Amino acid sequence: MIPRYSRQEMSSLWSDVARLRRWRDVELAALEGMVEHGLVPREALQDCLARAGDFTEADAARIEEIERTTKHDVIAFLTFMEERIGPSARFLHLGMTSSDVLDTSLGMVLREAAELILQGVKRAMAAVEKRAFEHKHTVMMGRSHGIHAEPITFGHKLAIWYDELRRAEQRLIRARDVIAVGKISGAVGTFAHLPPAVEVHACEKLGLTPAPASSQVVQRDRHAEYFSALALLGASIEKFAVEIRHLQRTEVREAEEHFTAGQKGSSAMPHKRNPILSENLTGLARLLRGYAVSALEDVALWHERDISHSSVERVIGPDATIVADFMLHRFAGLMENLRVYPEQMQKNLELLGGVVNSQRILLELARKGMDRQAAYVIVQRNAMRMYEEQGVTFRKALSEDQDLLKVMTSAELEDCFSTGYHTRHMDDIFQRVFGRSE
């Protein structure tokens, strides 16, 4: 992923040096398991541990140079280790296949990436929760089909977002656990040249769970679940971002991204304050969905394995985790600094002259004995007058309707326009979502 959309904390997990360190750790953990089960002399392990060392960019360049000849990255790595360690290195990779190293180390890095992403989810949830309680009673227009429906509060909207982020968190925890597996079972996964106990030892050392059964590779439905969880996270963030974009439209302007000192919105129009962060999140969510599709395509490999998944994972592994991590922190920052305009929300509430109370009037007429459909006709025709006749408000139209006045007094009608009834259950909603109402 390009640096523009990368945080160093995440992108560093995918550096060449970090990858080589994981390969070294897998090889040494497996070698230790071989020693513990009497397959390799302990002196060889001690020699390898003493000489394996760390990796630098120069080491990575040397391994890349070897690979230009071998055309095989793991063999190039093992060749380098032989150069560095000497004769004891012959015991590295004993009875193993390349996928033992590649898939086990991939499980390690995806687990670490998931931990960072979960930290980002926590930050995003905290930001949304804080703003939800801040605006628990900030009344605004609820909309369906983009059209005024009934009042809600901005805090209610954010409580829904928080609940959705919690589901994303739960999916990511499962995905982290599903992906955190390793295999040291050799070619085609039969343990023909190493006992399962070596795999158990190595995985425990590396903080992984042994795959219960593997072919030459760890099965890719695990990876598909992981990247699908990231895609769903991205879809939720896109949903939140699209809402912010709508609320920032000039004709609405109920909320707005923070506009920093010196920021410019347009090269041509100096007045512009655009929802660029939200638009960016919308675009990045498209990438995450694409990566999930690629991961699903990797599930079906030929027989015990092919390497059609390899090129895909070299791209989607770093890119998807870096993008998801970046999106979370961008969204959290957006929410922490989001500008909310309660006065404009109130202005928009009153834009149609009380028509948002139509359902309350309909229900009140039904309670008083009028047929629901007959009541619907009365309320609707007066609402249509408001839309179509200049200077006629919904309240005025209703107050002149003789059919309505036969069953409802003017005072009862006026009571239907009182405020507060739409939001009287906010405490219940917040208790359900946050476990507290204050």
Q: Do 404 and 413 touch, CB atoms closer than 8 A?
A: yes
d(CA 352, CA 61): 68
d(CA 19, CA 1): 16
Catalytically annotated residues: 145, 266
With b for 16 or more beta-carbon neighbours within 10 A and e for fewer, the 175-209 pattern comes to bbebbbbbbbbbbbbebeebbeebbbbbbebbebe
Give me the amino acid identity at 212. P
d(CA 343, CA 247): 13
Q: How many residues does the chain have?
A: 438
d(CA 203, CA 183): 8
Structure tokens at 176: 């982290």
d(CA 277, CA 333): 10
Give me the amino acid identity at 51. R
Structure tokens at 200: 């158990």
State the pairing for strand pair 147-153/181-182. unpaired
Which residue matches tokens 């390799």?
40
d(CA 111, CA 104): 11
Q: Do 172 and 114 touch, CB atoms closer than 8 A?
A: yes
Q: At 319, is the secondary structure helix, strand, or coil?
A: helix
